[in-house]
A and B are shown apart, each in its own frame.
Chain A
Amino acid sequence: MKKFFALLLTLAMAFTLVACGAEEFELALITDYGTIDDGSFNQGSWEGLEKYAKENKISHKYYQPADEADDAYLNAIDLAVQGGAKVIVTPGFLFEVPIFVAQDRYPDVKFVLLDGSPNNGDWDNFEGRVGDNVVSIFYAEDQSGFLAGYAAVMDGYRNLGYMGGMAVPPVVRFGHGFVQGAEYAAQELGLPEDSININYFYTGTFSPAPEIQTRAAAWYNDGVEVIFVAGGGIFFSVVPAAENAGQFVIGVDTDQSGLSDTVITSALKLLTQSVYDSVESFYNGTFAGGQTRIYSASNMGVGLPMATSKFNTFSQADYDVIFEKIVSGAVVVNNNTEMAPTDIPTSAVVVNDQN
């Protein structure tokens, strides 16, 4: 009798599982480090997917991997496919290896990979390929960071800070662009040598932590006037230090001016729009599988939200001039992520690397 009940129970559980699987979600997003509402990267991507899905009444869902490892990311992708996903959006550099596997495992599913290009992650026997069912999207974070650094120096700030999350290529590009932008502005203003200081640090995490608050407080205490924070959660730890010191912050990815009065501007990359475009392309049959797309200044993929920025003197006209220079190629931002920030050739800017 007992065995019979055990069997009954097992069957009941099995059926429940099947019942769960019956509901299907056509559009799926797998979150990267951090959560869906990180106020920047994951959230920006999700908003694009959600916008299209709601406008066109398409079922959609996001999945958070159980762990921050390739296997866990792949599991989440498996889960999404089993859940009926036709398009899977994976925001983040760390999905390069999982997508490299998944693009062959699920040839009928379309993938949108942000900030990365599928590869096997083995640098000695490197193999990379954007499958026919994958669109790989990059952003010119270096240009966005450049604009932020340029604007800050033009606006009168001389003592700057850069705090990135993990030193993954997009975060590195933001930082290097920031340094170059500050240098370019200093040259335009004819500032003397070593007149601009930039503290430079990668926190190694995208999550808030009191240590980050203290480091930021120490920087402000040392005289830093504005810190460019390139990382979802760490923003929440830098802001209290800025508030207490009466100093400022530059946000990242999305317009973060609504989160605190200390935010003078944000180095944008138009995640929401790019995800929206990609999802739309799938439904109108123009999905550019196998291609790499770059969102940069020339296609309005990066920039600063001038409408919500709180600059003293830096105006929309100033912004348009420098933006146009980047678009026309008169200003070329070095986006090499292999070098150290101190190796960027500068004369007016001193990079104080704390890593």
Chain B
Amino acid sequence: MSFDVLVFLIQQMMFFSIPLLIVALGGMFSERSGVVNIALEGIMIVGAFIGVLFIFFVQGAGIRINGQLLLLLTLLVAAGAGILIALPHAYASVHMKANQVISGTAINMFAPAFAIYVARMIRSVQQIPFTNQFYIESVPILGNIPIIGQFFFQRTYILTYFGFLILIVSWILLYKTPFGLRLRACGEHPQAADSLGINVFKMRYIGVMISGALAGIGGVVFVIPTSITFDATVAGYGFLALAVLIFGQWKPGRILFAAFFFGLMKTVSVAYSSIPFLNNLNISGSVYKMIPFIATLVVLAFSSRKSMAPKAVGVPYDKGSR
């Protein structure tokens, strides 16, 4: 396989993997605190919608700012939107002790309708277009490094590095700070955590809010490189992120691996024509379409035996119970 092909595959893989990574890490914070978050899909939609709308208004108003700066501001806006939409879920599942799947589903159903409705009020059509001024042909200096430069610093988006940054910060936060320890304790045994003076409600609220922020960011990260409009959908990637989270055993390092695995399989399944030895096999395209799903089944069959879900995930905290 020629080197250029490999470079191309890695570059394309990032478009799949980075949003999955960010959203799955978001899900991790929520579930590690003890709250199931199947609303990731809905939160991604809201985050992407508000984010793209922000870009649309800034570009429409003719404000000329640096593309990368605009993108970072957009991520901030999307994070805010994600937190706001995640709050009802936190309220229902933490304060009201409601079934966490139901409020998550409610958000998933609400989000696309909300995006379409608001988009039509503003533009009378449901797509929100944006001009892609974020693409980086080659990062200055770093892009010139042989091999590594080609793999990671050419034909890319700043979002890729942002994804890795989130990964590192998440790992440190979860494993190297008192906050992380408390958060994990609330997901494993909230009664024990409470007995040591940790405010379980507060920790769970924070967990859900972080997941909202990251899922909102993930929505923008998903849309920017692969489209020129936002069409009120993230094509099921929120649910895929949930699979990545489970496959990744609720641990940052494994989530990274899982996200890359899914991303690579997705890429190979559609870009096989670029891979000479696969192209020469002359297998029907339908076979390649099955690859991500078959690979997932196989890997899950081997890895799911020792599933390490947080013990108290999905169980509303009740002070009275033991």
Binding site for B on A (CB under 8 A): 35-37, 39, 199, 201, 207-215, 217-219, 221-222, 233, 236-237, 239-240, 243-244, 259-260, 352, 354-355
Q: List 23 A-B contacts (CB under 8 A).
A: A208-B226, A208-B227, A208-B229, A210-B15, A210-B16, A211-B266, A211-B270, A213-B15, A213-B225, A214-B266, A214-B271, A217-B271, A218-B8, A219-B273, A221-B8, A222-B273, A222-B274, A236-B228, A237-B226, A239-B228, A240-B228, A260-B228, A355-B285
Distance, CA A354 to CA B225, complexed state (A) = 24
CB closest residue in chain A, given B236: A209
- Apart from the given pairs A217-B12, A240-B227, 20 other A-B contacts in the complex at a CB distance below 8 Å: A37-B127, A39-B127, A207-B233, A207-B235, A208-B233, A210-B15, A210-B222, A210-B266, A211-B270, A212-B270, A213-B15, A214-B270, A219-B273, A236-B127, A236-B227, A236-B231, A243-B135, A259-B228, A260-B228, A354-B285
Q: Give which listed residue, B226, B271, B285, contacts A201 with CB less than 8 A.
A: B285
- Would you call B228 and A210 a contact (CB within 8 A)? no
Which of A36, A210, A218, A233 interacts with B231 by CB under 8 Å? A233
- B155 in the interface, Cβ–Cβ < 8 Å? yes
Residues of A within 8 A of B132 (CB): 240, 243
B125 within 8 A of A: yes
**Which residues of chain A are within 8 angstroms of B267 by Cβ–Cβ distance?**
214
CB neighbours of A355 from chain B (8 A): 284-286
- A237/B227 contact (C-beta < 8 A), A214-B15, A244-B155 known: yes
A354 to B288, CA, bound (A): 10
Tell me if B68 is interfacial: C-beta within 8 Å of chain A: no
The winner among B225, B272, B286 for most chain A CB atoms within 10 A is B225
Which residue of the partner chain B has the closest CB to A355?
Answer: B285
Binary per-residue interface labels of chain B (250-289) against chain A in the complex, 1 for a CB within 8 Å, 0 otherwise:
0000000000000000110111111000000000111000
Interface string of B12-51 (1 = CB under 8 A from A): 1001100000000000000000000000000000000000
Q: Does B126 contact A (CB under 8 A)?
A: yes
Chain A residue nearest in CB terms to B123: A37
Q: Is the CB of B125 within 8 A of A218?
A: no
Query: Cβ of B233: which chain A residues have Cβ within 8 Å of it?
Result: 207-208
**From residue A337, how far is it (CB to closest CB) to chain B in Å?**
20
Residues of A near B271 (CB, < 8 A) are: 214-215, 217-218, 221
Which residues of B229-247 are within 8 A (CB) of A? 229, 231, 233, 235, 237
With both chains docked as a complex, state the minimum distance between the C-beta of B87 and any C-beta of chain A, in angstroms. Answer: 29
> Which residues of B lie under 8 Å from residue A218 when comparing CB positions?
8, 12, 270-274
Chain A, residue nearest B274 (CB): A218
Main secondary structure of the interface of B (DSSP, over half): helix
Residues of A within 8 A of B16 (CB): 210, 214
- A221 and B15 contacting across the interface, CB-CB below 8 Å: no
| A240, B8: Cβ atoms closer than 8 Å | no
Number of cross-chain contacts by CB at 8 Å: 88
For residue B286, which residues in chain A have a CB less than 8 angstroms away from its CB?
Answer: 355
Q: How far is the CA of A240 from the CA of B132 in the complex (A)?
A: 8
Name which residue of chain A comes closest to B266, CB basis: A211
**B126:A37 contact, CB within 8 angstroms:** yes
- Measured in the bound complex, the distance between the Cα atoms of B279 and A222 in whole Å is 11
Q: Provide the residues of chain B in CB contact with A209, threshold 8 Å.
A: 235
Known: A219-B273, A244-B135. A210 touches B126 (CB 8 A): no
Q: How far is the CA of A260 from the CA of B131 in the complex (A)?
A: 9
- Give Cα A57 to B28, complex, Å: 56
Q: How far is the CB of A208 from chain B (nearest CB, A)?
A: 6
CA distance A352 to B272 in the complex (A): 13
Q: Are B225 and A240 closer than 8 Å at their CB atoms?
A: yes
Q: Considering the chains assembled together, what is the distance between the CA atoms of A352 and B286 in angstroms?
A: 15
CA A306 – CA B127 in complex, angstroms?
A: 27
Determine the residue in chain B with the shortest Cβ distance to A233.
B231
**Contact A35 to B235, CB < 8 A, known contacts A211-B269, A355-B286:** no
A222-B222 Cα distance, complex, nearest whole Å: 24
Query: Which 10 residue pairs across A and B have the least CB separation, nearest first?
Result: A37-B125, A218-B271, A210-B226, A215-B270, A213-B226, A218-B274, A354-B285, A211-B270, A214-B270, A214-B12
Q: Which residues of A contact B127 (CB under 8 A)?
A: 37, 39, 236
Contact of B273 with A199 in the complex, beta carbons under 8 Å: yes
Chain A min CB distance to B125 (Å): 4
Q: Residue on A with the closest CB to B116? A: A35
A215–B126 alpha-carbon span in the complex (Å): 25
Nearest B residue to A216, CB-CB: B270
Q: How far is the CA of A240 from the CA of B129 in the complex (A)?
A: 12
Residue of chain B at shortest CB distance from A213: B226
| Min CB gap A221→B, angstroms | 5
**Complex Cα spacing A39 to B129, Å:** 12
Query: CA separation between A209 and B231, bound complex, in Å?
Result: 10
What residue of chain B has the Cβ atom nearest to residue A209's Cβ?
A: B235
| Residues of B contacting A243 in the complex (Cβ-Cβ under 8 angstroms) | 132, 135, 228
What's the nearest-Cβ distance from chain B to residue A188, in Å? 29
Smallest CB separation, A239 vs chain B (Å):
5
